[in-house]
Structure 1
Amino acid sequence: MKKIFASKISALIASLMIVSALVPVLAFANSFEGVPTSLSGTTNVTGQVYVTDSVYTTGKTIPVYVYGEDNKTVVDVVYATYASNGRYDIDFDVPSVTYSTYYYLNYHNVTQAVYYNPYYGGGGFPGFPSGGVIDGNGNVDGTQLTNLFATDKNPTITSTSDVVTIPADALIKGETLTIKLEDGTSITLPIAALKLEEKAKSLGIELSALDIKVELKKLTGDAAKAVSDAVYGIDAKPLATPVDFKIIAVGGGKEEQYTKLDVYFKRTLPVIGSVDSDKVTGVVYNPDTKELSFVPATFATEGDKTIATLLRNSTSIYTVIQLDNVSFADLANHWAKEDIETLAAKLVVEGTGANKFEPKRNITRAEFAALIVRSLGLDATGTTSKFSDVSSSQWYAGVVATAAEAGIVQGDDKGKFNPNANITRKELSAMVVRALGYAGKEVTLTDAEASAALAAFTDASSLGWAKAEVAAAVKSGIVLGQTTTKVVGDASASRAEAATMVIRLLGNAGFINN
């Protein structure tokens, strides 16, 4: 999209004329004055052309050429009428009522851009395709959204309202739709994952009667204080206003809120100041438990703002926090110190008490399942386990059920998970690769590619059932081997090894800044 601009005086020409009094006289170049840069609700353009050429100042009209969107094709010629003082009045109608179109007025190589959007109405900004799609109250025009999708299947529309209502029969024609507020807060809808036709059927209505309501509401009052209390309760610093994101299906006098989709989707938050991406993290707030949990997030500078992009497959309340000076006394000079402290600052790993991490201690299968579930930003809400040795009363019941539902953990041939057994390096590799696939970065290798990936390791033949998974982990850069020539797949993994594999998983998936 071309950037909106208002053509000002194109050049300032100073001529110093030596006369008897040595008085400087200034002459201004041709220019457009008072011509609007954008139009809405009207097709009429008015303004003036200031002309310095004496040949024109003595005449009554001058030709002003109107170019189309390409700024090359002449679509009209306007004859401006002399007013006074070298100024000519322009008054013309745009040559067509095409949605979201630029017109370029040109007089003697001086250009003025006019952005025409018939439905602008304050709901967007010139230069964005959103102007004609959404009004100031957040209502999306289905016809204009359909037109927009015809040229861009993944557009962004900008809204002045934090509640946006979209006709489902238009929404279904795109791939994604990003709804953005003026401050940089946004949400990107993965349209296929909304299953709009199924949702309409479940509500007992036609697709044409279904609307999708999207809310991007900043918390205030007691709700905001509750999140603030949770942030300060873990000695963190709040860096963004908490926002409650909701996606709601509306139709037939009913409303159904989407709480979980089958893909990760983006939302963004503006962050206060510049940040160290190793010390800040996106978090989701649970109003029932009043706790904060890690959300995959990356940070980037956009103009003069820092924007956090949070990835998750659920809607809820999100914010950004910073944890400073996260360290453990037993990590001094440890090879995994930096990775572990980064994960701790992001609420992915925890210490074992007394300011210790115990990096050399073995990690159990249940403990690693919990670590994977946290690193993917999943809700550990599952309670029913398919494994005979996972009781619902155990602390790990929820995380194991969640990991199993996501296809990340598997049991043995007897239907057991063996939650308290130390996890082996090859089991850990397999779980990480499955987690990578769940995050949308599945790695599939042919037998030849797997053999090539493991060629440097002399003990690759001992991997057995895990050969393909370990090969994929090596190919992805998640597993480097215990040495340059050995994987040591049957060795029990340490807490430090588990942490380093998780941070490589997050980087590979685009869930943290690399």
Structure 2
Amino acid sequence: MKFSVLQKTAQTTVLMMLLSILMPVLAFAANGFTVTFNNGTVTGSVYSDVYSEVAPSVYAYDANGNQIGVATATYSVYADGVYKYNFTVTGLGVYDKIRLHGPVGTKFTGVNEAVYQTVYQTYDSDEGSSGGGGGGGGGGPSTNASETISVGTDGTVNAEQLKNSFEKYDTVILTLSGDTVTIPAQGLETFLSNDKKVLKISNDNGTYVLPLSALRLSDLASKLSTTVTDLKLKATIQAADEATAAAVSEAAQALGGTVLAKPVDFNLVGIGKDDETAAHDFGSTYVSRTLPLADEAKSFESTGVRYDPSTKKLSFVPTVFSGKEAVLKRNGNSWYAVVKLNKSFTDISGHWAQTNIELLANKLVVDGVTDTSFQPERSITRAEFAALVVRALGLEPSGSGTFKDVSASDWFAGVVGAAASAKLVDGYEDGTFRPNATINREELAAMVVRALDYAKAKPSVNADQQQALLAKFKDSGSIVWAKQELATAIEAGIIDGMTEDELGARSDATRAQSATMLKRLLERANFIN
């Protein structure tokens, strides 16, 4: 599971600190964590002297107690009298420390929520110190450190300098004096297959974080009829002019909201022969952009948004908040901002899903049936849920797919097309999608699991785990085709039973249930906190 962690800032050396407080679950039991937190990655193991066939989940919280991620640990080895379960969590973000907890309850008998550890991010120096004591010089720079390159007013970077920096460091930071930088792809092409190499581009407007493995430079060069060696990238981090800022403010006000971070254009294009340009396409890879905030934002009532100048509308962007920064995650370039909303509906007061519905309404993921009514217990159609999943993933509506019962004039054509393109939905054998049919919990779970897979947050569930996860439900035999998907959704914490022993796979899903599953999906993918 991916979640956000603070990347190191230039010219700062802080040695790694670990504060481990282990509390036994059983008398004299050995339980705890052995972890490191470096360069945006938490790696290690949770261990116990009690073996469990069910793999434990490890939960991560920020300093304010907000859950920011969860990962499934896998059994590794029995050594030194304990069973070790390994886990790794990677991501980009703004946390200098996190708190790890074992799973809540008795699902994993060896370690539960009483076992915890606070772990601090390691900051490596720009000179290459990897921490761990005060020894003198010698040895080359650590590859997990970073180097900062100041970009002059001409907005250019030398290819050889860039290549030399990436040979020594995992992260290279370009600090801009202006809004743009032109980057020779020749300085990057050697490292494109290395998923540890990250290019960060920063100015006063924000920070663009580009894993080199996410750069599809061959495709871009092909569009421009050139080679990667001759290709150049132009990155832009530009604050909006007065007209665009006013349009975003008006769009926010129309939704009952206010702007917390003014719009910034994050853009990446390729430059080929004769200065021809083509937009870079990240495919299904989410990349991060950091926007500074004037004041700390409350995640429940704040969201990152994308502004579409052609429609003058705002749409949800997966975003996590910490302090005075917002990290927006999306697989495309656009204008981005942060807005604050406080939405509710008269018919959800006291409802079990009220908080989940209000949260997703503030994130612009769910709408009311009217301005004041949500109708939480109403069933939901396949097209309506497809629209919600597309919004939750921050995807753009596109086309109408290949379903013969979806025409271009239908309101749902674009979202069904986007969902089909991302492999979130399937049609029926007769070539139809049946957009107006109500969706049952089995179908809903399958779509959510596909969304988890798209977000690279899907847990693995083997046959034995599947059987164990479904066995406690007396009606699991009624599942028609999605046993694997339902088991995965249960393991990911996305779906619960209707009761302790009844899953209700064939029951129609309600709007309240749909909102709740989407909220859990976004948390699992570390798309909200």
Q: Same fold (TM over 0.5)?
A: yes
Corresponding position of 2:260: 239
2:397 is paired with a residue whose SS is coil
8 Å CA contact 2:248–2:307 kept in 1: the answer is yes
Corresponding position of 2:302: 280
1:443-471: CA deviation from partner (whole Å, max 9, x where unpaired): 33221121122121111121131100000
Query: Structure 1 residues 74, 378: CA separation in 2 closer, same or farther (over 3 Å shift)?
Result: closer
Corresponding position of 1:508: 524
2:444 is paired with a residue whose SS is helix
Corresponding position of 1:223: 244
Counterpart-to-counterpart distance in 2, 1:494 and 1:336: 11
Show structure 2 runs of 5+ residues with no match: 1-7, 13-126
Residue among 414, 420, 435 paired with 1:419: 435
2:327 is paired with a residue whose SS is strand
Residue among 127, 147, 167 paired with 1:129: 147
The aligned length equals 397
2:213 is paired with a residue whose SS is helix
Corresponding position of 2:334: 316
Note the C-alpha offset of 1:381: 2.2
Counterpart-to-counterpart distance in 2, 1:433 and 1:459: 21
Note the C-alpha offset of 1:181: 2.6
Q: Does 1:307 align with 2:331?
A: no
Partner amino acid for 1:362?
S
Counterpart-to-counterpart distance in 2, 1:329 and 1:230: 24
Residue among 485, 488, 493 paired with 2:504: 488
Partner amino acid for 1:322?
K
8 Å CA contact 2:199–2:212 kept in 1: the answer is no
Corresponding position of 1:156: 173
1:319 is paired with a residue whose SS is strand
Query: Structure 1 residues 205, 295: CA separation in 2 closer, same or farther (over 3 Å shift)?
Result: same
Higher relative contact order (CA 8 A, sep 6+): 2
8 Å CA contact 2:156–2:183 kept in 1: the answer is yes
Q: Which has the larger radius of gyration?
A: 1
1:249 is paired with a residue whose SS is strand
Counterpart-to-counterpart distance in 2, 1:359 and 1:371: 14
Counterpart-to-counterpart distance in 2, 1:167 and 1:464: 54
8 Å CA contact 1:270–1:307 kept in 2: the answer is yes
Corresponding position of 1:145: 162
8 Å CA contact 2:399–2:418 kept in 1: the answer is yes
Query: Structure 1 residues 481, 154: CA separation in 2 closer, same or farther (over 3 Å shift)?
Result: farther
Alignment of 1:365-380 (within 5 A): 365-380=382-397
Q: Does 1:290 align with 2:312?
A: yes
8 Å CA contact 1:433–1:443 kept in 2: the answer is no
Residue among 481, 486, 491 paired with 1:465: 481
Partner amino acid for 2:445?
S
Q: Does 1:442 align with 2:458?
A: yes
Partner amino acid for 1:223?
T
Q: What TM-score comes out, normalization by structure 2 length? A: 0.71
424-433 or 439-448, larger mean C-alpha shift:
439-448
Q: Does 1:355 align with 2:372?
A: yes
1:293-333: CA deviation from partner (whole Å, max 9, x where unpaired): 011100012xxxx1110111110000000002x11111111
Counterpart-to-counterpart distance in 2, 1:252 and 1:293: 35
Counterpart-to-counterpart distance in 1, 2:135 and 2:409: 72
Corresponding position of 2:492: 476
Counterpart-to-counterpart distance in 1, 2:326 and 2:204: 12
Counterpart-to-counterpart distance in 1, 2:522 and 2:231: 37
1:369 is paired with a residue whose SS is helix
Counterpart-to-counterpart distance in 2, 1:464 and 1:488: 12
Counterpart-to-counterpart distance in 2, 1:69 and 1:235: 49
Corresponding position of 2:52: none
1:386-413: CA deviation from partner (whole Å, max 9, x where unpaired): 1121122211111111101111111122
Partner amino acid for 1:255?
T
Note the C-alpha offset of 1:251: 1.9
8 Å CA contact 1:297–1:310 kept in 2: the answer is yes
Counterpart-to-counterpart distance in 1, 2:239 and 2:205: 12
Counterpart-to-counterpart distance in 2, 1:158 and 1:312: 22
1:81-131: CA deviation from partner (whole Å, max 9, x where unpaired): xxxxxxxxxxxxxxxxx999xxxxxxxxxxxxxxxxxxxxxxxxxx96113
- Stretches of 4+ moved more than 4 A in 1? 1-5, 68-75
Query: Structure 1 residues 197, 387: CA separation in 2 closer, same or farther (over 3 Å shift)?
Result: closer
1:271-307: CA deviation from partner (whole Å, max 9, x where unpaired): 1211110000000001111000011100012xxxx11
Partner amino acid for 1:229?
E
Residue among 231, 237, 256 paired with 2:278: 256
195-204 or 243-252, larger mean C-alpha shift:
195-204
Counterpart-to-counterpart distance in 2, 1:397 and 1:511: 25
Say what the alpha-carbon RMSD is for the aligned residues. Answer: 2.5
Q: Does 1:195 align with 2:211?
A: no
Corresponding position of 1:329: 346
1:345-393: CA deviation from partner (whole Å, max 9, x where unpaired): 111111111511100100011110111111111111223x211211222
Q: Does 1:433 align with 2:454?
A: no
Residue among 466, 471, 477 paired with 1:455: 471
Partner amino acid for 1:404?
A
8 Å CA contact 2:217–2:228 kept in 1: the answer is yes
1:167-210: CA deviation from partner (whole Å, max 9, x where unpaired): 10112233453434343611122433332133224323232221
Note the C-alpha offset of 1:135: 3.4
Partner amino acid for 2:284?
D
Show structure 1 runs of 5+ residues with no match: 6-67, 76-97, 101-126
Q: What TM-score comes out, normalization by structure 1 length? A: 0.73
Q: Percent identity?
A: 40
